[in-house]
């Protein structure tokens, strides 16, 4: 347990770092140093591991790991290496705009500054209770803004549905344990309503969106309209995002770095959140999962 004094120091450093005060030069350097040392912020791992349990779209191949070497060599040193094979769209991953919008950015063409930004966490986990087909509405976004102010330019808007707590239970996370085409009509999980996607693309200047379900369109979607709308505007998406319950609804930043696949429509993603120590503690106290 940190003392109040330590907490207050962390808050002070955090405010400067997060709110972009006029600090420059050595002060800014000190703040960045504190950030990367973990003194004023906590780094949160927001990716699920890629292994035999990783959830993929029911029509995709699961993750495959082939051990090439693991053991002592004749020369007397230990050596280990693997091959892996994966669909672009499985586990915690990027959807590049080209995935549903011809001519838009491929994974390698997305400007790198779109992968980092202030995290806007829209918590609808209370609304998805008993409603796996829930879709995040414009009203949900307006509620967030009424509490926290306008969604900042360059934000990464993350939808916390609470589904992360079901990972890696396929039955609960996807709504079905079937695989192949037969599984698709059985999919039930929350997503983003196309009206909300349209509002974000037209009315705000966001860098990306993310969600703790397999898709930004809900499980019962057949036209994937939210994908079409956002990707036409070159706004990428992150899917199967982990640990959204550990981020406060405002005040954190995220860094989401996908594999740079040339011409890729998406790819495996390592995502981290940076939470100021003060609000990180608040988020944990609030509890919940997702």
Residues at the site binding Zn ion, with contacts judged by CB under 5 A:
89, 95, 239, 266
Closest contact distance (angstroms) between CB of 90 and Zn ion is 8
Smallest separation, CB 97 to Zn ion (Å):
11
Between residues 207 and 239, which has the closer beta carbon with respect to Zn ion?
Answer: 239
Q: Which is nearer to Zn ion, 93 or 135 (CB)?
A: 93
Question: Which is nearer to Zn ion, 215 or 279 (by Cβ)?
Answer: 215
Contacts of 51 (CB under 8 A, 6+ apart): 63, 65
Shortest Å distance, C-beta 93 to Zn ion: 6
Q: Which long-range contacts (CB under 8 A, 24 or more apart) does 176-181 make?
A: 176/58, 178/58, 179/58, 179/59, 180/58, 180/59, 181/59
The whole-angstrom separation of Cα 107 and Cα 239 is 14
Phi-psi category of residue 155: left, alpha or beta, with phi > 0 → left and psi -120 to 50 → alpha: beta
Residue in 27, 74, 81, 45 with CA at minimum distance from that of residue 244: 45
CB of 40 to Zn ion, least distance (A): 34
Decide whether 176 or 265 has the Cβ nearer to Zn ion.
265
Q: In the complex with Zn ion, which residue's Cβ is closer, 43 or 224? A: 224
Q: How far is the CB of 96 from Zn ion (least distance, A)?
A: 9
User: Do 85 and 64 meet the contact criterion of CB atoms below 8 Å apart?
Assistant: yes
Distance in angstroms (rounded) separating the CA atoms of residues 125 and 159: 9
| C-beta of 18 vs 100, nearer to Zn ion | 100
The upper half-sphere exposure of residue 213, i.e. CA atoms within 13 Å in the direction of its Cβ, equals: 29
State the maximum Cα–Cα separation within the chain, in Å, rounded to a whole number. Answer: 66
The least CB distance from residue 140 to Zn ion, in Å, is 22
Q: Which residue is nearest to Zn ion (CB)?
A: 89
């Amino acid at each position: 347990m940190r003392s109040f004094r330590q907490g207050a120091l962390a808050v002070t450093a955090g405010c400067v770092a997060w709110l972009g005060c006029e600090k420059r030069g050595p002060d800014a350097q000190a703040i960045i140093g504190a950030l990367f040392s973990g003194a004023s912020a906590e780094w949160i791992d927001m990716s699920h591991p890629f292994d035999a349990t990783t959830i993929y779209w029911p029509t995709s191949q699961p993750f495959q790991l082939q051990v090439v070497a693991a053991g002592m060599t004749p020369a007397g040193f230990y050596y280990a290496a693997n091959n892996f094979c994966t669909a672009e769209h499985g586990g915690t991953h990027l959807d590049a705009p080209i995935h549903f919008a011809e001519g838009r950015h491929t994974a390698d063409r997305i400007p790198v500054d779109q992968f980092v930004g202030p995290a806007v966490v829209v918590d609808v986990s209370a609304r998805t209770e008993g409603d796996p087909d829930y879709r995040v509405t414009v009203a949900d976004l307006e509620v967030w803004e009424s509490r926290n102010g306008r969604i900042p330019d360059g934000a990464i808007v993350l939808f916390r549905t609470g589904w992360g707590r079901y990972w890696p239970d396929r039955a609960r996370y996807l709504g079905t344990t079937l695989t192949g085409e037969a599984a698709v009509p059985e999919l039930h999980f929350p997503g983003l309503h196309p009206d909300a996607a349209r509002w974000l693309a037209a009315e705000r200047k966001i860098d990306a969106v993310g969600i703790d379900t397999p898709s930004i369109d809900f499980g019962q979607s057949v036209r994937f309209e939210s994908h079409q709308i956002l990707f036409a505007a070159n706004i990428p998406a992150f899917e199967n995002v982990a640990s959204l319950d550990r981020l406060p609804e405002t005040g954190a930043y995220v860094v989401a770095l996908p594999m740079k696949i040339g011409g890729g429509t998406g790819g495996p993603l390592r995502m981290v959140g940076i939470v100021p120590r003060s609000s990180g503690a608040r988020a944990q106290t609030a509890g919940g999962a997702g």
